Amino acid sequence: MKIYKEITINEEDYRIIKLLEERIGKEVPIGEILIDPFYGRIGLNVEKGKIIHLAIGDIEQYILPGFPEEIFELKNLKALIIKELKIESIPDRFSELSTLEYLRLEGCFLDNLPTSIFHLEFLNKLIVINSPLKAMSNAIGNLKLLKDIQLGYNQLDYFPENVGKLRMLESITVCNNKITEIPTSLGNLKRLESIDLSSNKITEIPISLGNLKKLEYLDLSDNKITEIPISLGNLKNLEILNLSGNIISTMPKFLKNLKNLKQLILRDNNLSNYREIIRQLEESGTKVHI
């Protein structure tokens, strides 16, 4: 065992972290990393002498010869955060991090993800945001334990149907992309509680979304949606529905049957003949923004 900043670390992890410090030109502090949200600092957490959380952030001012591959030698990592690392590719070695549960890649110059990411059998949270990511592999369906996926502020124009294989998924955020269609397979995900597909180019809400009995939050604002399918009337646990910034002309009567609805947001649409439905919604306790 070695002493690193008054903390005992096994010799192999100590060797790796010293190499990593040399590579990035910064000391890596010990401390409680705020895994979510991440405020841009670097750091690591240790458990029983093993490095389990590592965050590298805002090091673009340092000239790196490539991705710091020393990271892949930290065999006990459960959480890895890479922020603002100005490289265009990452080595396809993620399968070596077999214990990884949380992966966040933010502000990197990535237009695709290494295939090995989709072999991380214990991964339950995947965040790739603020990148020029253009495609998502069908292999995403391999991540059977994934509960939360966040792919906002990228360049995605398509999301694969294989997302419907993620039966543990509870939350999906793919806002501010270029997606034109919602995968119908989302309707298979019975644990889903939150969907944010705002600021895309979606034209239609699939009927299958009405199968999501646990859904509480649905944000499809700032798209090109023209109508609300009657199947959404089955979303008995829905609390917030945001359809603002679309081209919807009719407010369907079934919305008043959503007994748990707390907020209905329909600003910036082309609605007509809606006053009676709004009155009924507001009488039942729903705040309507129109």
The pLDDT value recorded for residue 215 is: 98
The pLDDT value recorded for residue 64 is: 58
My answer on whether 82 and 37 are in the same domain is: yes
Q: If you count them, how many residues does the chain have?
A: 290
User: Domain span at residue 58?
Assistant: 1-133
The CATH number of the domain where 206 resides is what?
3.80.10.10
Least confident of 18-27, 141-150, 190-199: 18-27
Neighbours of 198 (CB within 10 A): 22
My answer on whether 116 and 210 are in the same domain is: no
In sequence order, the 6+-apart residues with CB closer than 8 A to the CB of 159 are 136, 174, 179, 181, 182, 183
Distance in angstroms between the alpha carbons of the first and the last residue of the chain: 63
8 pairs with which residues across the strands? Answer: 3
Position 212 in a domain: yes
The pLDDT value recorded for residue 132 is: 94
Residues 207-222 have a mean pLDDT of 98
pLDDT at position 41 over 70:
no
pLDDT at position 105 over 50:
yes
Residues 97-107 have a mean pLDDT of 94
Position 116 in a domain: yes
My answer on whether 210 and 122 are in the same domain is: no
pLDDT at position 69 over 90:
no
My answer on whether 121 and 195 are in the same domain is: no
Position 255 in a domain: yes
Read off the tokens for 211. 């199968």
**Number of domains within the chain:** 2
Structure confidence by residue, pLDDT tens digits, 176-203: 999 999 999 999 999 999 999 999 999 9
Position 150 in a domain: no
The pLDDT value recorded for residue 38 is: 46
Threshold 0.85, pTM exceeds? yes
Please say whether the dihedral angle defined by the alpha carbons of residues 108, 113, 116 and 121, taken in this order, is positive or negative: positive
The pLDDT value recorded for residue 40 is: 47
**52 confidence band (pLDDT: 50, 70, 90):** confident
My answer on whether 173 and 74 are in the same domain is: no
My answer on whether 90 and 183 are in the same domain is: no
| In the block, residue with structure tokens 């997302």 | 163
- Exposed / middle / buried, residue 194 (Cβ in 10 Å: 0-12, 13-18, 19+): middle
